[in-house]
Amino acid sequence: MRQSVLELEDPVQAAEPAAVAFRPIDIGPKILIADDDPSIVRLLADHCARLGFNVETASNGLHALLKASRFKPDILLVDVNMPEVDGMSVCERLLSPDRARLDIIVVTGSRDNDMLERCEGLGVLYLRKGPNFWDNLDATLAEFHPAMIDGAGVRQDQALAPAVRKRPRVLLVDDDAEIQRFLASRLEKLGLELIYAADATQGFRMACREDPVVIVADYFMTNGDAQYLLTKLRTNPTTGNVPVVVWTGGRLDVIKLTALQREICGHPGAAKILRKSQDTRELFQTLKEFCGFEQQVTREAFQS
């Protein structure tokens, strides 16, 4: 069993200008990186992207489980010490017999023999943070996908890697500024970041640019309704699978409801359709499903 350590800087990245980063190619093997330290996640994401992996990230254990169910990674690179749901619990959940094969690399800064035994018992690889980590990480990845490492070097033709954020980002598309103010402080209490678009056209552009975890959209808006927005999102590869929650104050007929839930170009329709209300618990419970935030959804979070 290989053990190694993670330095604070990726030595290849450190030699490059600060503005340079990389995006994984879409056809490469999928790797999910889970760590509650955004700086570590960024280094790992950029390093794996340069090797040609298709990278997705998660900021905690619950978020990793949610991302794994949608992203379906080939490799999981997971930190042991994360709040609420730790890395080993994530491994145990994702290695259940009814799931597809998944290669896992556990990263930790400890020298705990019990942890090593647990990794061996689960059949997962174990890397320690510290010197030589990057070389050993590449060697481990090469065991799973040799073609990604052998002679890969740094792929200068790749674009920017997805930014790693401390808080999951929610895009609200609604032409009512009062709704934006109503939700902003409540989402902040739950550790979420809210960005806002005033209509469907602007919402589509922001979804392509800002990489939201989930989109909450009113149905009736200027410059296109929620069905128009959903169609635009589902026919764009960047936004094809971003969950969309339609949150409307008006009653929708059966034809509109059916259209919203129908698949578009092989991508899912609306994830949920909810009625607007001063009681936002149902909306926030839905956001918790998609964002994986850790705070309990309490009555206080919905108070003005």
CA distances from 132 to 6, 11, 120, 137 (A): 7, 10, 21, 9
In the sheet that holds 272-275, the strands lie side by side as 193-197, 169-173, 214-217, 244-248, 272-275
Task: Write down the pLDDT at residue 8.
Answer: 41
Q: Which residue has the higher pLDDT, 189 or 256?
A: 256
CA distances from 263 to 201, 205, 286 (A): 21, 21, 20
- Which of 210-224, 233-247, 284-298 shows the lowest mean pLDDT across its residues? 284-298
If we measure between CA atoms, which residue out of 160, 197, 137 comes closest to residue 25?
160
DSSP 40: H
Query: pLDDT, tens digit, for every residue of 159-171?
Result: 334 444 557 889 9
Mean pLDDT of 125-138: 80
With contact defined as beta carbons under 8 Å apart, do 194 and 185 qualify?
Answer: no
- Domain positions in the chain are 11-149, 169-302
Task: Write down the pLDDT at residue 150.
Answer: 55
Superfamily of domain 169-302: Response regulator (3.40.50.2300)
Task: State which of 21-35, 147-161, 168-182 shows the largest mean pLDDT.
Answer: 168-182
11-149 and 169-302 share one CATH topology?
A: yes
Q: Which two tokens stand for residue 164?
A: 């790693």
pLDDT above 90 covers a percentage of the chain that reads 19
Task: Tell me the pLDDT of the chain averaged across its residues.
Answer: 78
* pLDDT of 241 above 90: no
Task: Write down the pLDDT at residue 157.
Answer: 38
Superfamily of domain 11-149: Response regulator (3.40.50.2300)
Q: Which residue has the higher pLDDT, 206 or 27?
A: 206
What lies within 8 Å, CB to CB, of 296 at 6+ separation is none
| Distance from the Cα of residue 200 to its chain's centroid | 23
